[in-house]
Amino acid sequence: MSEIFNPLLWPALVKVLIIFVLVVSTSRFKINLGFCLAGGGLLLGLWMRQGPLQVATQAAEAVFSPVSLRLALAVAFMLVLSHLMKEGGQLERIVASFSRLVRSPKATAAVMPAIIGLLPMPGGALFSAPMVEASCKAGPGGTARGALLAAVNYWFRHHGEYWWPMYPGFILVVSLLGVDTLVFMLAMMPLAAVHLAGGVWFLLRRLPDPPAEENRGVGSLAEFFKECAPILVMIAVVVVISSLGALWGKGGPPWPDGTPLIAGLAGALIAAAVANRVGPGRVLATFGRRDVLAMLGLIAGIMVFQGLMKSSGAVVEIQHEMKAYGIPTLAMICLLPFVSGMVIGIAVGYVAASLPVVVPLISGMSGMEYLAHGGLAFVCGFFGMMLSPLHLCFLLSRDYFKCTLASCYPYLYAPLAVNALGLVVWYLILA
């Protein structure tokens, strides 16, 4: 009976869940999620009966580990690249060159958000919304009409969350899972294809067909590829270095883990700087932007939380307790990310909050089984994020097309159900 009234004797699973709720709850009050996670990790270490000096030492080791430094560098490169392409007008040029190529307004309504979605940036949905509206030749007035256009803009923007290595959430989940970037990209692509197919079938088909004489376009494919040069450079570098590493032979390549992604982002950054005529001084100054520094703080908080989860012994105790209590590991893997996605509403946030808890639960698995469970957690969080009323892209799409969230949700249920079915099939095949 004394165990109930003594928090030090509570099960590790209860301690972690309480801290998980505290982290998610405090982040709702616009406190930087990195601070919330770091504080939660420190509290967990102390709650697991470690001394203050030991907890501080383990936190410092986690922040300055090679994995943390590589992750911070990759995320910083990605944010600077997005900023340079946006401020230099390159995103607008990409969209304009594509719109002159295609002959289908419906295709334009889907592809414009998809292209903009390849460069993750806050408020990107607002950038593509006018293009969706123009391609459909419809004003934002009218609740039902506006809700459909908002759903189209919102849905097609987020295919990259599954597989595109420029998303902070993707970069983070690859680092936390400890898997190869290219391997995880290839594993996630089928789910991204299901995502797009669901949008085409349930959303695009509901858009009205435009008059035949409006289906005209003149453009240059070379111009489009020229404007997409930074993205193409990144893909090429990641594929080439990853392929060389796979062919290297016994012992693996001489470069450290994460090199393909960092090298790809560095190449893309150089290409963007050249294309937009940005000098080295301005590029370096961009690394000091507030949003870049805030993201680096989030990375530090994530690594503190994850490091203390392991070093405090909480992971081992949780694994024993789950077996003793009969709690299915699969339930934890699915529910924690989904709830995090619903509450936080951003990919890097739900990955940061839930994957440090999930990864230790699957650490005993290997090969495709490990990849299947890690991907399952990642995508369950994505589903929660897509339904979250706090998701910025959802809110901006709703505001632009002058509709309500309640009117948008019915358009999302059917494609999300298709995604869920695709996830189950994908998981069963891999696992």
pLDDT in tens, 149-205: 999 999 999 998 999 887 888 988 998 999 988 899 999 999 999 999 999 999 988
341's CB contacts (< 8 A; 6+ apart) are 347, 350, 380, 381, 382, 383, 384, 385, 386, 387, 388
What was the pLDDT predicted at 248?
81
Considering only residues 244 and 127, tell me which one the structure prediction assigns the higher pLDDT. 244
What was the pLDDT predicted at 137?
56
Considering only residues 57 and 167, tell me which one the structure prediction assigns the higher pLDDT. 57
Cα end-to-end span (Å), the chain: 41
329-355 per-position pLDDT tens digit: 898 899 888 888 887 778 888 898 888
C-alpha distance from residue 372 to each of 36, 358, 409 (Å): 29, 13, 29
101-112 per-position pLDDT tens digit: 776 778 878 888
Compute the CA torsion angle 282, 285, 291, 295 (nearest 10 deg).
Answer: 120
What was the pLDDT predicted at 94?
77
Give the sign of the dihedral formed by CA 151, CA 152, CA 154, CA 156.
positive
What was the pLDDT predicted at 139?
44
Structure-token pair, residue 115: 């292209």
pTM for this model (two decimals): 0.72
Q: Give percent above pLDDT 90 in the chain.
A: 28
Considering only residues 138 and 414, tell me which one the structure prediction assigns the higher pLDDT. 414
Whether 29 shows a pLDDT value over 80: the answer reads no
Amino acid residing at 245: G
For the chain, the domains span 1-64+300-311, 66-103+216-278, 112-206+312-431
Whether 140 shows a pLDDT value over 70: the answer reads no
Rg of the chain over all Cα atoms, to the nearest angstrom: 22
> How confident is the model over 44-67, as a mean pLDDT?
90
Whether 4 shows a pLDDT value over 70: the answer reads no
Q: How confident is the model at residue 238 (pLDDT cuts 50, 70, 90)?
A: confident
Amino acid residing at 272: A
Considering only residues 398 and 208, tell me which one the structure prediction assigns the higher pLDDT. 398
Q: HEC string of 360-417? A: HHHCCCCHHHHHHHHHHHHHHHHHHHHHCCCCHHHHHHHHHCCCCHHHHHHHHHHHHH
> Which range is least confidently modeled, 28-32, 41-45, 80-84?
28-32
Considering only residues 76 and 130, tell me which one the structure prediction assigns the higher pLDDT. 76
357-409 per-position pLDDT tens digit: 899 889 888 889 999 999 999 999 999 999 987 787 887 788 788 888 888 99
Distance, CA of 74 to CA of 206 (rounded, Å): 40
Considering only residues 234 and 187, tell me which one the structure prediction assigns the higher pLDDT. 187
Whether 17 shows a pLDDT value over 70: the answer reads yes
What was the pLDDT predicted at 19?
86
Q: How confident is the model at residue 211 (pLDDT cuts 50, 70, 90)?
A: low
What was the pLDDT predicted at 100?
77
Q: Give percent above pLDDT 70 in the chain.
A: 89
Query: For all residues of the chain together, what is the average pLDDT?
Result: 83
